[in-house]
Amino acid sequence: MAGINEVNRNESKMVVPLNTWVLISNFKLAYNLLRRPDGTFNRHLAEFLDRKVPANATPVDGVFSFDVFINRSTSLLSRIYRPAHGEEPQINIADLEKPVTAEVVPVIIFFHGGSFAHSSANSTIYDTLCRRLVGICKAVVVSVNYRRAPENRYPCAYDDGWAALNWVNSRTWLQSKDSKVHIYLAGDSSGGNIVHHVALQAVESNIEVLGNILLNPMFGGEERTESEKRFDGKYFVTIRDRDWYWRAFLPEGEDRDHPACNPFGPKGKILEGIKFPKSLVVVAGLDLIQDWQLDYVKGLEKAGQKVKLLYLEKATIGFYLLPNNNHFYTVMDEISAFVDSNC
């Protein structure tokens, strides 16, 4: 088997810059160390290995951040990122939650990836990504530190997302001039999955979400799709690890056709006729779960929902973590246009 794996490694090295390959391979190696066959997770080692960064009320490249408790009793934290308007070298504590001043300010609620088990809102890779989003969308970004599997299974992550949505929606300081908070949901990998489910809950509760941004969203199902078989082990990801994460997140005894995993599967909700937000779905052409992601897009289309698919043929997972490839810039431009269009 070693021979085939070598070939696989060489394939992945040919499609990404070397430093990207190193970054993602490093994650792959680290994550392999953390997942145990019995379904438990080496959380201590995970926290040790994860690179994190504190919030910073001193603006850096025009963005400052601070952490807030969305819910004190469950220790649900979010990191808020705001554009600095150039004047002061330091943001006064009293001004952290100063009302936004522009006519329209998009507020992007961001859910980091990590297959429901890894990373945090203060992981450096996501802190960096959120800072970028502030710049390109002229938005306030709220990155939610949701509870992770396997310690906290479905529906914890969704509940935390829902709590964050309510919190954001009720902040007067985040309201645009029309006295409404202009909310977008965004996330990568498991974060993309959370976006869908939180949006669904928002619709059911009449909270308006202006748009969903799903970057390489994590979906799946019992069936083994073509892309899973074709790309298994080739570009950093294996079917086996995907299975592990679903087993860790889904309720015990449930299979991958659970609607959390497979929203348009046999147990999924009907989305026809409801006012679901418009969606931007980014699919990497070398992502093994792309068939599920494409099914998701088709599902939205069939339900008459507005969706734009951005299919990046030669992209692998994690391409948006480093600004060293065209896909990165393409996606940032699309996100910017998406958030801007009907603001």
Partner 1 sequence: MNKRNHQDTSGGADYGGLPGNLGKSDSSSMPSGKAKMWEEERDAGTGVDDELLAVLGYKVKSSEMEDVADKLEQLGMFMDAAPNIFCDTVHYNPSDLYGWVQSMLSELNNPPNTILDPMLQGQQIDDPLLAPAEFSSVPTLGFLNSHKQRQIDTTYSSRIYNDDSEYDLRAIPGSAAYPQTQDRESNRKRLKTSSRSNSAPPLLPSSPQPAGDAAAGTVSEPSRPIVLADSQETGVRLVHTLMACAEAVQQENLKLADALVKQVGLLAASQAGAMKKVATYFAQALGSRIYRIYPQDCLDASYSDMLQMHFYETCPYLKFAHFTANQAILEAFATASRVHVIDFGLKQGMQWPALIQALALKPGGPPAFRLTGIGPPQPDNKDALQQVGCKLAELAERIGVEFQFRGFVTNSLADIDPSMLDILPPEEEAVAVNSVFELHPLLARPGAIDKVLSSIKAMKPKIVAVVEQEANHNGPVFMDRFTEALHYYSSLFDSLEGSALVPPTQDLMFSEEYLGRQICNVVASEGTDRVERHETLTQWRTRMGSSGFEPVHLGSNAFKQASMLLALFAGGDGYRVDENNGCLMLGWHTRPLIATSAWQLIATDSS
- Binding to partner 1, residues 44-83 (CB under 8 A): 44-45, 47-49, 51-58, 60, 66-69, 72-73, 75, 77, 79
- Is residue 150 reached through a cis peptide bond, with omega within 30 degrees of 0 on the bond before it? yes
**Nearer to partner 1 (CB atom), residue 72 or residue 206:** 72
**Nearer to partner 1 (CB atom), residue 266 or residue 323:** 323
Please tell me which residue in 12, 78, 115, 189 is annotated as part of the active site. Answer: 189
239 near partner 1, judged by CB under 8 A: no
Give yes or no for a contact between 40 and 150, defined as CB atoms under 8 angstroms apart.
yes
**Nearer to partner 1 (CB atom), residue 123 or residue 305:** 123
Q: Given the DSSP bridges, would you call strands 140-144 and 106-111 parallel, antiparallel or unpaired?
A: parallel
Specify the stretch interacting with partner 1 by CB under 8 A; choose among 5-13, 220-228, 270-278, 289-297: 5-13
Q: How far apart are CA 264 and CA 245, in angstroms?
A: 19
189 flagged as catalytic = yes
Cα separations in angstroms, 300 against 22, 46, 90, 228, 270? 36, 35, 44, 21, 10
Residues 119-158 that bind partner 1 (CB under 8 A): 122, 124-125, 128
Query: Smallest distance from the beta carbon of 75 to partner 1, in angstroms?
Result: 6
Residues 194-213 that bind partner 1 (CB under 8 A): none
Query: Smallest distance from the beta carbon of 146 to partner 1, in angstroms?
Result: 14
Among 205, 326, 341, 342, binds partner 1 (CB under 8 A): 326
Residue showing tokens 């299919």: 311
Size of the site for partner 1 (CB under 8 A): 73
Cα separations in angstroms, 236 against 1, 10, 24, 170, 191? 16, 11, 7, 41, 19
**Nearer to partner 1 (CB atom), residue 175 or residue 259:** 175
**Nearer to partner 1 (CB atom), residue 48 or residue 272:** 48
Contacts 24+ apart (CB under 8 A), 226-234: 226/291, 227/287, 227/288, 227/289, 227/290, 227/291, 228/288, 228/289, 228/291, 230/288, 231/286, 231/287, 231/288, 231/290, 232/288, 233/4, 233/5, 233/8, 234/8, 234/11, 234/12, 234/286, 234/288
Interface pattern 81-110 for partner 1 (x via CB under 8 A): --------xxxxxx-xx-------------
Among 63, 284, 321, 332, binds partner 1 (CB under 8 A): 321
Catalytic residues: 189
